[in-house]
């Protein structure tokens, strides 16, 4: 399909304007560029989308909240962190997206995550808008009591902005079941409401959904398998490199093992472990989920098959499939070149925006199947939406039912991205497919609801 140059001009002008109005937010620029780079064909084919203001509105958050979070450590010293909630787009449902607690968090990071979330949530086909939040608080090395006091202080401001019909936060890096528990407790105390649907990722006994902790990793492996099936292959017997060792990485390893694949690696900020016999899931869970330890301990306790590579990157380990599951921009051009050299067949993003744009282009040029995070890792937020549905109905589904729904949603996302890419003349390009399919759904709702 030929692209009308005026849609490309419109997108280029918007891109410059966004850079000018949002200085010093490189991750936000990157996330916006990745989407705008793929929209020209759809704006050319459907003139209603080129209406002045539509794409501009989509790139501007509906609301951005920044607040002070003071808290006391165990020695009584006062710390001051910064809290964020970016409510990006609510055309399809209440704002939905996680909270990230990590020292790198700033407004630009939260905006990139919120922007991605809008498209990701649209792709699930469920009724959820997009938002994201967090803080530059570092939970690493903090006691439970410190984490609790921080979460209570954070919620003491956040509670006035959220609600089951308004904005529904969940976890992300640094925010898991423990943090969601403290946040929910403080929300309940302040509001005097037992409002289960205000947060997702809750404990199983008090409103949480089965399979929520597993969902992002499981979903990403299902997406990778769907891409391989398009090429007449599956995951059975394939080797895989996984980065990270948090929730997403752990359940990626679990699903890979269940499907007969061989996950070789895990990592954290200090380096990676490679295990020739395949990652031992029980040991990994014991170290990361129970003891909250470092990944180097895995190699110390596993024996001869495993070794720790300090400071290294998992992408240097030869494998059939790569599943980046740590954080943004963790896989650059050089890493991509190494993976391609070693014959990688599929790369599927468990984290948000882990591959740099140069890495993505390199994979695509080399004919590697590439699943962008907004499609491939949507299983987590999809099961969050199922948690909201269960909360609303005051019921709890069986793990088997949630898993079946998750598999159906991931298959729907894969098919939608695949078909959309074909429809717009980019067969096999899941980046274009995901961006355009997510865009169409949000844009249709925004057009129907008028200029707001
Ligand atoms: N933080 C996750 C994501 O990046 C999940 C968000 C949620 O469950 O709301 O999609």
Residues 54 and 68 in one domain: no
Residues 82, 364: Cα–Cα separation, whole Å: 39
pLDDT one-digit tens code per residue, 257-291: 999 999 999 999 999 999 999 999 999 999 999 99
Number of folded domains that form the chain: 3
Residues 225 and 362 in one domain: yes
Instruction: Return all residues near 38 (Cβ < 8 A) that are at least 6 apart.
Output: 431, 432, 435, 436
- Measured in angstroms, how far is the CA atom of residue 300 from the centroid of ligand 1? 33
- Looking up residue 95, the CATH number of its domain turns out to be 3.40.50.10860
Query: In ligand 1, which atom is closest to the CA atom of 120?
Result: 10
Burial profile 281-315: b = 16 or more Cβ within 10 angstroms, e = fewer: bebbeebbbeeebbbbbbbeebeeebebbeebbbb
Burial profile 79-96: b = 16 or more Cβ within 10 angstroms, e = fewer: bebebbbbbbbbbbbbbb
Residues 186 and 228 in one domain: no
pLDDT one-digit tens code per residue, 19-76: 999 999 999 999 999 999 999 999 999 999 988 899 999 999 999 999 999 999 999 9
- 4 — pLDDT class (breaks 50, 70, 90): low
Residues 103 and 49 in one domain: no
Residues 222 and 293 in one domain: yes
Domain assignment of residue 323, given as a range: 215-376
Residues 327 and 369 in one domain: yes
Residues 223 and 364 in one domain: yes
In a domain? residue 410: no
**More confident site: 50 or 225:** 225
Residues 135 and 261 in one domain: no
Query: In ligand 1, which atom is closest to the CA atom of 378?
Result: 10
Query: What is the residue-wise DSSP string for 205-238?
Result: GGTPPTTHHHHHHHHHHHHHHHHHHHTT--STT-
For residue 204, give Cα distances in angstroms to 98, 282, 409. Answer: 18, 21, 22
Query: In ligand 1, which atom is closest to the CA atom of 171?
Result: 1
Residue with tokens 């608080």: 137
Residues 286 and 162 in one domain: no
In a domain? residue 14: yes
The average pLDDT across 221-231 equals 98
In a domain? residue 283: yes
* Ligand 1 pocket mutation pick from 172, 247, 378 by most atoms within 8 angstroms of CB: 172
Q: What pLDDT was estimated at residue 382?
A: 98
Q: For ligand 1, say whether the CB of 202 is within 6 Å of any of its atoms.
A: no
Residues 264 and 234 in one domain: yes
Instruction: Name which residue sits closest to atom 5 of ligand 1, judged by CA.
Output: 381
- Measured in angstroms, how far is the CA atom of residue 168 from the centroid of ligand 1? 10
Q: What pLDDT was estimated at residue 248?
A: 98
Dump strand ranges (E) for 358-438.
369-371
Last residue of a domain, one of 376, 399, 414: 376
End-to-end CA distance of the chain: 32
Q: Is the pTM of this model over 0.95?
A: yes
Any catalytic annotation for residue 132?
A: yes
- Looking up residue 345, the CATH number of its domain turns out to be 3.40.50.720
């Amino acid at each position: 399909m030929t692209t009308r140059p005026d849609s490309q001009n419109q997108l280029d002008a918007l891109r410059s304007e966004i850079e000018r109005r949002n200085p010093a937010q490189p991750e936000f620029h990157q996330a916006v560029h990745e989407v705008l780079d793929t929209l020209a064909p759809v704006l050319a084919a459907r003139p209603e989308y080129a209406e002045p203001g539509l794409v501009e509105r989509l790139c501007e958050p509906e609301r951005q909240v920044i607040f002070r979070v003071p808290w006391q450590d165990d020695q009584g010293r006062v710390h001051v962190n910064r809290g964020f909630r970016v409510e990006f787009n609510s055309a399809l449902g209440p704002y939905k997206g996680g909270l990230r607690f990590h020292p790198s968090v700033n407004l630009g990071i939260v905006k990139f995550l919120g922007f991605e979330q809008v498209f990701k949530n649209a792709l699930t086909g469920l009724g959820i808008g997009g938002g994201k939040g967090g803080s530059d608080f570092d939970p690493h090395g903090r006691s439970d009591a410190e984490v609790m006091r921080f979460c209570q202080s954070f919620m003491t401001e956040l509670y006035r902005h959220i609600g089951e019909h308004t904005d529904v936060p969940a976890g992300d890096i640094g925010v898991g079941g423990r943090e969601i528990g403290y946040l929910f407790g403080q929300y309940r105390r302040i509001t005097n409401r037992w409002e289960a649907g205000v947060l997702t990722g809750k404990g199983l006994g008090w409103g949480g959904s089965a399979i929520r902790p597993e969902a992002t990793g499981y979903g990403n492996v299902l997406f990778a398998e769907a891409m391989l099936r398009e090429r007449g292959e599956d995951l059975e017997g394939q080797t895989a490199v996984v980065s990270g060792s948090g929730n997403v990485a752990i359940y990626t390893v679990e699903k890979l093992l269940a499907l007969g694949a061989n996950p070789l690696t895990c990592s954290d900020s200090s380096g990676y472990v490679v295990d020739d016999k395949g990652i031992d899931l029980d040991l990994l869970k014991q170290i990361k989920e129970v003891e909250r330890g470092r990944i180097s301990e895995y190699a110390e306790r596993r024996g001869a098959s495993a070794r720790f590579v300090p400071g290294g990157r998992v992408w240097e380990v030869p494998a059939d499939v790569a599943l980046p599951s740590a954080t943004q921009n963790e896989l650059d051009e050089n890493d991509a070149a190494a993976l391609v050299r070693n014959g990688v067949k599929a790369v599927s993003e468990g984290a948000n925006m882990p591959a740099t744009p140069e890495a993505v282009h390199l994979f695509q040029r080399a004919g590697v199947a590439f699943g962008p995070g907004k499609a491939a890792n949507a299983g987590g937020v999809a099961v969050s939406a199922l948690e909201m549905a269960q909360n609303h109905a005051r019921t709890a589904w069986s793990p088997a039912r949630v898993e079946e729904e998750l598999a159906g949603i991931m298959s729907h996302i894969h098919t939608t991205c695949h078909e959309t890419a074909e429809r717009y003349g980019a067969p096999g390009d899941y980046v274009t497919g995901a961006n355009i399919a997510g865009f169409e759904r949000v844009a249709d709702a925004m057009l129907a609801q008028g200029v707001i």
